[in-house]
Amino acid sequence: MQFDTIAAISTPMGEGAIAIVRISGDEAVAIADRLFRSPSGKRLVDSSSHTIHYGHLVDPATDETVEEIMVSLMKAPKTFTREDVIELNCHGGLVSVNRVLRLVLQYGARLAEPGEFTKRAFLNGRIDLSQSEAVMDLIRAKTDRAMNVALNQMDGKLSRLIGELRQALLETLAQVEVNIDYPEYDDVEEMTIPLMIEKGEWVRSEIIRLLATSSQGRILREGLSTVIIGRPNVGKSSLLNSLVQENKAIVTDIAGTTRDIIEEYVNVKGVPLKLVDTAGIRETEDLVERIGVERSRQVLKEADLVILLLNGSEDLSPEDERLLETIRPMDAIIVVNKTDLPQKIDIGSVQQLAGEKHVITTSILQDEGVEELEETIAGLFFGGDIEAEDPTYVSNERHIALLHQAKTSIEDAIQAAEARVPIDMIQIDITRTWELLGEIVGDTVQDSLINQLFSQFCLGK
């Protein structure tokens, strides 16, 4: 095999009862065999693949016992990296694992770079690039649904779909060549152009279908950026604390308590939210508060969802009306809070100003209405049309960008075909689409990009 032998600690540092040092490459078995002593004297080099062995790790230079271990022996090609893999299962202490790793490095392995085991699985052809990226997404997934998206992608669902599209493009190109090469067809263009348009339209519609999943996919991956706004003292920080079920933000009865942006991740009925508490918006002379108010306005611009809080025990103020106006073009939920106090607000006029938007009444203090708010958020996100089976989501920025480019490129091809430009010009656009889709799965992609992508992995993966 063309690669050297690598090793790393594959479990979290200093936590847990067992820690694993993983070794991959041609020398993996030989290195482990030199260090391993079995009570019965059996040797790893003589053992069959996919077996586990009890024994001790010994430093051959001093004959000193370093660790008591279990060794997993997995020979190529049916392994994670498709190379010989050894896993040394050690006692979990930080000192112990590091001693084992040091010994393995001393006897011929090289310290693996972040993501290098997964990179080997990619370079040795076990998985493609989008599957490798899914491995990383899986580790970072914050909710069950995000994890399912990653698992599906790791399983190759997206790769297979991309493969089908590329195959169709390739077959079209081949058919075009055949038509050109066999001039017994009187009119090559008559035969070829409709075929290019038909296949092009199909690829285009499939790309559009994939791109349609990207906003949900991206949110599942990164969280729905949800900003809580409202006048000072309406209960914004109380709402954040209630949703994250912890006292993360300071709550007082002093208006202008929150001065800076507070961000928390929370799972609301399967929807990952990046929840942002802001400084209450009002005109103020206080310099610090004014900066806070300015920041509130800033994060509002980048929000996927806005929760506007109003105080039900006070009249609707001009500031409230301005905020209702600001959020008009945005996805927003209006929450009328403090229903435990005598009510002054006119819900009817709030609803009128809110238009189509949901209006919910709560008493955050008494934990009333918060559940309804959570259900409304989930309903907005899943849009009521939860599909019977999970669609193939595109959740990765790199994939989304490439799909947009591929869409443009196939549209160029279709347009060119419809305008009856010379066939070789159309072939260029189709080939370009094929290449762009290939970058998603890592078929037509540069080494520098591959290195950059894998370097974002964690050590030992």
Ligand X SMILES: Nc1nc2c(c(=O)[nH]1)N(C=O)[C@@H](CNc1ccc(C(=O)N[C@@H](CCC(=O)O)C(=O)O)cc1)CN2
Is the CB of residue 233 less than 8 Å from the CB of residue 280? yes
Could you write out the DSSP letters of every residue in 368-387? BSHHHHHHHHHHHHHTT---
Shortest Å, Cβ 65 to ligand GTP: 60
316 DSSP 8-state letter: P
Shortest Å, Cβ 441 to Mg ion: 47
The residues binding ligand X (CB under 6 A) are: 20, 78-80, 87, 126
DSSP-based helix, strand, coil % in the chain, nearest 5: 45, 20, 35
The answer on whether 461 is annotated among ligand-binding residues is yes
Shortest Å, Cβ 36 to ligand X: 17
Could you write out the DSSP letters of every residue in 265-305? EEEETTEEEEEEE-PPP---S-HHHHHHHHHHHHHHHT-SE
Cα-based angle 73, 74, 78 (whole degrees, multiple of 5): 170
Structure tokens, 163: 């493969």
Q: Which partner, Mg ion, ligand X, ligand GTP, none, binds residue 255 by CB below 5 to 8 Å per kind?
A: ligand GTP
> 337 or 392, CB closer to ligand GTP?
337
> 163 or 256, CB closer to ligand X?
163
The answer on whether 280 is annotated among ligand-binding residues is yes
Shortest Å, Cβ 308 to ligand GTP: 11
The answer on whether 267 is annotated among ligand-binding residues is no
Site string for ligand GTP, 30-49 (x = CB under 6 A): --------------------
The residues binding Mg ion (CB under 5 A) are: 236-237, 257-258
Q: What does the radius of gyration of the chain's CA atoms come to, in whole angstroms?
A: 30
The answer on whether 328 is annotated among ligand-binding residues is no
Shortest Å, Cβ 117 to ligand X: 7
Q: Which partner, ligand X, Mg ion, ligand GTP, none, binds residue 320 by CB below 5 to 8 Å per kind?
A: none
Q: Which partner, ligand GTP, Mg ion, ligand X, none, binds residue 80 by CB below 5 to 8 Å per kind?
A: ligand X
Q: CA 73 to CA 376: how far, in whole Å?
A: 52
Q: CA 235 to CA 285: how far, in whole Å?
A: 22
* Nearest by Cα to 301 from 264, 339, 261, 265: 261
List residues forming the annotated binding site for GTP.
Answer: 233-238, 252-258, 277-280
**Which stretches of the chain bind ligand GTP, using CB under 6 A?**
230, 232-238, 251-253, 255-258, 279-280, 337-338, 340-341, 363-365
Binding-site residues from annotation for Mg(2+): 237, 258
